Structure 1
Amino acid sequence: MEAEATKPTVETLADQLSGYLDASRINQVRRAYYYAEQAHEGQTRRSGDPYITHPLAVARILAELKLDHQSLMAAMLHDVIEDTGIPKDALSEQFGESVAELVDGVSKLTQIEFRSRAEAQAENFQKMTLAMARDIRVILVKLADRLHNMRTLGHMKYEKRQRISHETLDIYAPIAHRLGMHTLCTELEDLGFKNLYPMRSKYISKAVKKLRGSHREIIDDIRGKLEEKLQERGLPGRIIGREKHLNSIYNKMKFKHKSFHEIMDVYAFRIITDSVDDCYRILGAVHSLYKPLPGRFKDYIAMPKANGYQSLHTTLFGMHVNIEIQIRTEEMEHIANHGIAAHWLYKNDESPVLEVSQRRVDQWVQGLMEMRERADDSLEFIEHVKVDLFPDEVYVFTPRGKILELPGGATPVDFAYAIHTDIGNACVACRVNRHLGSLSQPLQSGQTVEIITAPGARPNPAWLSFVVTGKARSSIRHFLKNQKRTESLDLGKTLLKKSLSGFGHRLADFSEDNRQHVAGHNRVSSFDNLLRDIGLGHRMAYIIARQLVTGQRQSAQAKIAGAGEVSGESKRDSVTIRGTEGLLLRFANCCKPIPGDPVMGVMDSGHGMVVHSDTCHRLPENEAERHQLTHLKWAKDIADEFSVELRVELERQRGVIAEVANAVAMADGNIERINVEEQNARLSIVNLELRVNGRRHLARVMRRIRNIRAVGHITRVRH
């Protein structure tokens, strides 16, 4: 972006617009300027300039991007609703519904006070998402507004400069990058960096200028050889040097641990040509001039980046230095610099490049809307989105050959959710390049990924430890929250029914009024929420049962007083468990209960029920606390496997461990872990952790192991 001329006027803007807008539209922009000038009469900026200089400067930034006349009118009027009290309806009458909507959208994106800066940014981002979904031009006007504010930040107080710079680097620059607006993005980043770290910015800037002067000869020599090669082959192309930006240099030094000279010893050029065919021909020409570095070639023309960026990238080795070259067409150059803003310049042409760019932006905004609906609050939403704002992309294929771009480090689970939320939720396995692969393995560009789903499958909470895309993370969390709500309701209802049976009642005996009265007494909004609290372990089923009975029969004091005697009955009414109840039923690691063991349930506040063996030393011993335990019984037809630990004492012999493992396998057991401890020269102790589906199965496994001649003693371990 060029530096602004001193004291620009609406007429200098009109001259700028005459290059791509007709006279009637330029007059509409003029009319918006005079309306805004009148509305802001008497208002000044911190610099002392009349306030109208700001809207005019924002419009000039958009004019450089060659945006349409409605966006320019909205830029002129973007502070009118907020700062002058003129209503949206008045703007609609004067300038039409579209312009009024744009102005209203931009006004709603302005900063409002929240409890914390993080929350303010997150809330703003949610608003931006809604605004972008309605009209992408809203964010373009807002980005231009932010750019001019960053250019004139010097008049602000230090604290405000810091806050605005952080917000620019955290939110606005990444959005500009995601929309493919490279020129605007790099200026926002450099201005943010300069205001946050003035000394570091000054030092790097000085070092760059010094180095550029001493390298001038090498740069001119390389450019001369490239131009000579293009002329020799008869290829059209203009060669321009690429400047490295201060914020980019600083980030590479900080995060990639590179020295300043390592970064600056790479010479970067861009070759702009006429057609896609010429791009590939020029690639061949430069590769014949200097040797390409293996693994450093990227074809973003065949596979564009997520923000629509297209170019050929290659790194060459010549004249004892590395030379980075980007090759692209004029149209690709314009779109690389201005991204989605280029849409209005090319909208009358049939531009396939623009169509791809527009479609990708639409998909991204749609994805943001989905995440916004699933997130519980604005901070969770922005946590999911920030990952997607800096995608270091990998490109993978579906079995039908469709290309999907994902952030670097993405896994098959991210891929599954990128296709559709339902496919992600039902994903059980994957094939990578036709071979079964792990769901947690990071994908590489060029791989073909096939997702295997199963009816009734559901997301695994462990996936949250390795997924990287915001969509996958938000979808998994959303599903697990809903699952937890459903499971806590079912478990709470089961526990309450069991407690009520001890009082000689059923849940159906109580009216809706009675239930609501008890819910209100416990300060929860509904009886279902009260049941969820019981299921999560926040409340005791016995107490809620007593409140229901007391509430219905105030007169039957004797029966209620004798409730403690009746509770003995409730011990015989056990809750049946299958072992597959989901998130709210866990099996204690201390005693590792398996089907067939007598078991008790202990409520763990917020996490549901933990199942212990009834002889476990961790269970409370005094009668008052044992009264709070839930008596459980196992369902008859359990097919699931449970973890159990065995301790085997045996004579040391060659191949005896293999015999033990074989014995477990013959009894259909599954060894998870094996650990051998040396006791003395003659005896060893083997600790086995294996999976069985109940006590009978365990007895069969132990019998097989006991039959091995070298085995002296075998016991089940309970910690």
Structure 2
Amino acid sequence: MLSDDELVDLIKVYNPRSDESLIRAAYAYGMAAHEGQLRSSGEPYFSHPVEVACLLAEQRLDDATIVTALLHDTIEDTGSTFRALEKRFGGDVAQLVDGVTKLTNLELSSVETEQAENFRKLLISMSKDLRVILVKLADRLHNMRTIKFLPHEKQVRKARETMDIYAPLAGRMGMQWMREELEDISFRVLNPDARQSIMRRFITLKKDTGDLIPRITEDIRKLLDDCGVEAQVMGREKKPYSIWRKMQEKGEVFGRLSDIYGFRIITGSVEDCYVALGAVHRRWAAVPGRFKDYISQPKSNGYRSIHTTVSGRSAKRVEIQIRTRQMHEVAETGVAAHWSYREGERFENPFAVDPVRWLAQLTERFEAADNPNDFLEHVKLEMFTDQVFCFTPKGEVIKLPRGATPIDFAYAIHTRIGDSCVGAKVDGQRVPLWTRLRNGQSVTIIRAEGQRPQASWEDMVVTGRAKAAIRRSLREEHRAGHIALGREIARVALERIGKKASDKALRTAANQMGLPDADELLARLGAAEVTGRDLVGTLYPELIDQSGRPGHAADADAERPIVGLGDGQRAQPAPCCQPIPGERIIGIAVKGQGVQVHAIDCPTLAALEDDAENWIDLAWTPSAARVPHLASIEATVANDAGVLGRICTLIGEQHANISDIVFTDRKPDFYRMVIDLEVRDMKHLHNVQTALEADSDISQVRRLRGASAEPVRHKV
């Protein structure tokens, strides 16, 4: 653990005007407050705040942030208070410490919403003072560096949280070095065998080829000297997790994986960057499709650099990044560049872009989200994806995540434009709304008054903004129907246990579930977000048997695929929706035919609302997945040789059985087919669809439900 003298000396290197007395006072206060406390490693607890302060000092941050690091656990873990800190160190420091404390002490309603709520509050706190998250990230980094002293279960939980939230957050804020280290430590905890395997392969590669990094570095230096460019050249191996992720994404083994080496050229000017790029491309062959110019088109967090991949020495692909010194400082420190000091003065880097605007927009967009898990999904989509740049007809640039569609483009302009979208033109040509946009394309949105978002749009879009707007519109449009359907579900569920779905009972259940009113409860029942069993369990938990459904334990016979049927009743899947395990189901008693089992979103149910007394609340048992269930999918594929065989192979690899294939449309360049599959459950079907969607010759895969499950079929 560094002494206060050593910490002060570290800060004085970049900020000679630092308030030495304030740093020493915070050091003494924190040490006294944590006196007698130990970490899991057995070290004095105060060693942790000191290490966090050192991490922030290495990023040249201001005194208030360093002091916050030294005190960040005092309110949480000691007898200190906000008022005491405010009196001793001022309001700025007290507010920062309080912000970090609130992030740590989140009281959450359930395990399912914990991560989403944590992320929501992280972003809200960040929008108030960005230094809170700088301290939090440094706090998490040091905790991850010492994670081996925790019990294994806690290590896994912390590593997963870090991989899902803190690592991508650090990356989005431009602190790439921190992201890589957080990912690598988490990877070591979550998949130690895979990480060891990659490390062993690196050792083997060096034995076979020698250490290529110094040799390629020398090649680049000589090349730059010949063209008169003064630059610093650095080389490194990619991190194990980065390599593992590429192996998973590309489906390649380590030996065939390219660009596992990365090199940086740091020049003195933008002009020298392009001179260096030309020299590199003259010397080595550039890999097509692997060139990105983030100098002319910077990322939203201010990142600027030229990226290119070339076939270098020994035909090994290497990635080269070219940037100026100032660009490199922003690339290394990201948002911390806004608070950095140099020789006692705040250093203004012309390339630093304040990401507070992005954070504020993100927080505003999702702060009122109904479902915290939707919020987490949207934020992850915003944070993990690279961007493409498209143009409006007037030439305005619209930034979108990679894979975005014209619908995403429309919603990025304005919600009203997205809601009323009926078509799109890309570079003057009419295209389907599911088309994936590429850099530099010009997009024109075709609108129509009275148009409303379609349910299928949600599967087409990738941006959180578009998904939220579509779901909100669909929710408003279908709310009345959901409430009516939910009322019948509530009535049937409560009548089965001899109770009435009175207004008071519904209000009580809504209050217990933390919902604003009974209508919201009924709407969620109708939308399958809450089940009849949830309602009964909330009001009358003593009437719920061990299977989790109202009634008698005998109904939960593990050998029966469906529970909820009466004595002598038999069930059969409805052909209109082909329900499979994993979907919520409703039974309809049909005279002479037993009980037809429908998925909750089956259109047929809407036509049977007046016959609700015949509705039966059903559920799948775990044994349901032991037998095959029929599901139909439609695939749009390229009309090339070998595609059909590859589709059959992909389905077979997922251990699904093909019971029928029918071609519904054949064109010179593509054809559509309907494939009837036998699958175990929804997860099994999803795995099949994912495997097919990953194939480059398959442009679209969707499940056929309701009326769409009966296309006009042409045998070929």
TM-score computed with the length of structure 1 as normaliser: 0.67
One-letter code aligned to 1:351 = N
1:412-444 CA distance string (max 9 Å, x none): 111222223333223232221122222211111
Aligned to 1:104: 98
Whether the aligned pair in 2 keeps the contact of 1:432 and 1:447 (CA below 8 Å) is yes
Match status 1:447 vs 2:445: no
Aligned to 2:366: 371
The 1-side partners of 2:486 and 2:6 are apart by 72
Percent of aligned positions that are identical: 43
Structure 2: distance between partners of 1:118 and 1:523? 24
SS across alignment from 2:230: coil
Give 3-state SS (helix, strand or coil) of 2:340's partner: helix
Relative distance call for 1:419 and 1:350 in structure 2 (3 A) is farther
1:298-697 to structure 2, matched below 5 A, reads: 298-319=292-313, 320-345=315-340, 348=346, 351-354=349-352, 357-359=353-355, 361-373=356-368, 375-485=369-479, 519-520=503-504, 523=507
Displacement after TM superposition at 1:149 (Å): 0.5
Instruction: Say yes or no: does 1:12 pair with 2:6.
Output: yes
Matching residue within 250, 253, 263 for 2:247 = 253
Instruction: Tell me, yes or no, if structure 1 residue 228 matches structure 2 residue 222.
Output: yes
1:186 corresponds to which letter in structure 2? E
Would the alpha carbon gap of residues 536 and 249 (structure 1) be closer, same or farther in structure 2, given more than 3 Å must change?
Answer: closer
- Partners of 1:492 and 1:438 in 2: how far apart? 35
How far apart, CA to CA, are the structure 1 residues paired with 2:270 and 2:604?
64
- Quote the residue 2:282 is aligned against: 288
Q: For each residue in 1:573-592, what CA deviation from the matched residue of structure 2 results, as whole angstroms up to 9, or x when unmatched?
A: xxxxxxxxxxxxxxx99xxx
1:124 and 1:267, CA in 2 relative to 1: closer, same or farther beyond 3 A? closer
Instruction: Indicate conservation of the 8 Å contact 1:133/1:366, yes or no.
Output: no
Q: How far apart in 2 are the matches of 1:328 and 1:531?
A: 54
1:139 aligns with 2:133: yes
Query: More deviation in 190-199 or 76-85?
Result: 190-199
Q: Which residue of 1 aligns with 2:182?
A: 188
How many Å apart are 1:371 and its aligned residue?
1.7
Distance 1:264 1:137, change over 3 A: same
Task: Choose 271-280 or 307-316, whichever is displaced more.
Answer: 307-316
Q: 226-235 vs 198-207, which deviates more?
A: 198-207
Go from structure 1 to structure 2 and tell me whether the alpha carbon gap of 1:519 and 1:163 turns closer, same or farther (over 3 Å shift): closer
Is this contact kept in 2: 1:393–1:405, CA < 8 A?
yes
- Tell me what 1:274 maps to: 268
Change (3 A) 1:404 1:215: farther
State the one-letter code of the partner of 1:329.
Answer: T
Does residue 122 in structure 1 map to residue 113 in structure 2? no
Verify the 8 A CA contact 2:229 2:276 in the aligned structure 1.
yes
Relative to structure 1, the CA distance from residue 416 to residue 482 in structure 2 (aligned partners, 3 Å threshold; closer, same or farther) is: same
Residues 612-657 of structure 1: per-residue CA shift (max 9 Å, x gap): 99xxxx99999x989xxxxxxxxxxxxxxxxxxxxxxxxxxxxxxx
Give, in angstroms, the shift of residue 607 of structure 1.
Answer: 7.0
Q: Which runs of 5+ in 1 are unaligned?
A: 1-6, 494-516, 539-587, 590-603, 627-673, 677-719
Native 8 Å contact 1:491 1:535 kept in 2: no
Q: SS at the partner of 2:238?
A: coil
Please state whether the residue corresponding to 1:124 is helix, strand or coil. helix
Deviation at 1:274, TM superposition (A): 0.8
Contact 1:111 1:120 in 2 (8 A): no
Q: Secondary structure at the match of 2:393?
A: coil
Going from structure 1 to structure 2, the CA distance change for 1:403 and 1:457 (only over 3 Å counts) comes to same
SS in 1 for 2:276: helix
The answer for the alignment partner of 1:160 in structure 2 is: 154
* Distance in 1 (alpha carbons) for counterparts of 2:128 and 2:58: 24
| SS at structure 1 position matched to 2:398 | strand
Task: Give the conservation status (yes or no) of the 8 Å contact 1:316–1:324.
Answer: yes
Q: Does 1:86 align with 2:76?
A: no
Counterpart contact for 1:179–1:340, Cα < 8 Å? yes
CA distance in 2, matches of 1:144, 1:227: 35
8 A contact 1:305–1:405 mirrored in 2: no
CA distance in 1, matches of 2:214, 2:227: 20
Shift of 1:487: 6.4
Query: Which one-letter code corresponds to 1:127 in the other structure?
Result: K
Between the aligned partners of 1:537 and 1:238, the Cα distance in structure 2 is 63
Question: How far does the alpha carbon of each residue in 1:213-256 deviate from its partner, in whole angstroms, 9 at most, with x for none?
Answer: 65446444433332222112211111110221011122222332
SS at match of 1:195: helix
CA distance in 2, matches of 1:183, 1:531: 45
Aligned residues: 531
Aligned partners of 1:91 and 1:173: how far apart in 2?
Answer: 30
Q: Which residue of 2 aligns with 1:514?
A: none
Structure of greater Rg: 1
Q: Which amino acid aligns with 1:339?
A: G
Q: Structure 1 31/453 Cα, relative in aligned 2: closer, same or farther at 3 Å?
A: farther
Provide the C-alpha distance between the structure 2 equivalents of 1:610 and 1:276, rounded to a whole number of angstroms: 64
Q: Is the 8 A contact 2:483 2:526 kept in 1?
A: no
* Paired residue type of 1:387: L
Amino acid in structure 2 at the alignment position of 1:326: Q
Q: CA offset at residue 528 of structure 1?
A: 9.7
Deviation, structure 1 residue 377? 2.8
- Give deviations 1:115-159, integer Å, cap 9, x for gaps: 765432122111101111111111111010000001111111111
SS at match of 1:430: strand
Secondary structure (helix, strand or coil) at the match of 1:328 reads strand
Shift of 1:200: 3.0
Q: 1:90 to 1:232 in 2, by over 3 A?
A: same
Distance 1:290 1:87 in 2: 62
Distance verdict in 2 for CA 1:89–1:426, change over 3 Å: farther
Alpha-carbon distance in structure 2 between the residues aligned to 1:20 and 1:239: 24
Shift of 1:519: 4.0
Deviation at 1:172, TM superposition (A): 0.7
**Conserved in 2, the CA contact under 8 Å of 1:488 and 1:532?**
no
Indicate if the aligned counterparts of 1:74 and 1:103 stay in contact, CA closer than 8 A. yes
In the alignment, is the contact (CA less than 8 A) between 1:65 and 1:341 conserved in 2? yes
1:541-562 per-residue CA deviation (whole Å, 9 max, x = no partner) reads xxxxxxxxxxxxxxxxxxxxxx
Instruction: Check 1:157–1:308 CA distance in 2 against 1; reply closer, same or farther (3 A cut).
Output: same
CA distance in 2, matches of 1:100, 1:39: 15
- The letter of the residue matching 1:313 is H
Q: What is the aligned-residue RMSD (CA, Å)? A: 3.7
Q: Specify whether residues 252 and 607 from structure 1 end up closer, same or farther in structure 2 by C-alpha distance, changes over 3 A only.
A: closer
One-letter code aligned to 2:164: D
Whole-Å separation in 1 of the counterparts to 2:25 and 2:196: 42
Task: State the Cα deviation string for residues 176-208 of structure 1 (Å, max 9, x = none).
Answer: 011110111111111111122333323322432
CA distance in 2, matches of 1:426, 1:442: 20
Runs of 4+ aligned structure 1 residues displaced above 6 Å come to 487-493, 524-528, 534-538, 604-613, 618-622
CA distance in 2, matches of 1:90, 1:436: 65
Quickly say closer, same or farther: Cα 1:24–1:468, change in 2 above 3 A. Answer: closer
1:464/1:476 contact within 8 Å kept: yes
Counterparts in 2 of 1:36 and 1:233: CA distance versus 1, 3 Å: same
Check 1:518–1:186 CA distance in 2 against 1; reply closer, same or farther (3 A cut).
closer
With over 3 angstroms needed to count, the CA separation of the structure-2 counterparts of 1:675 and 1:242, relative to structure 1, is: closer
Question: What is the CA distance between 1:455 and its match in structure 2?
Answer: 3.8
Secondary structure of the residue aligned to 2:354 is: helix
Any conservation in 2 of the 1:78–1:107 contact (CA below 8 Å)? yes
C-alpha deviation, 1:452, in angstroms: 3.0
Provide the secondary structure at the position in 2 that maps to 1:46.
coil
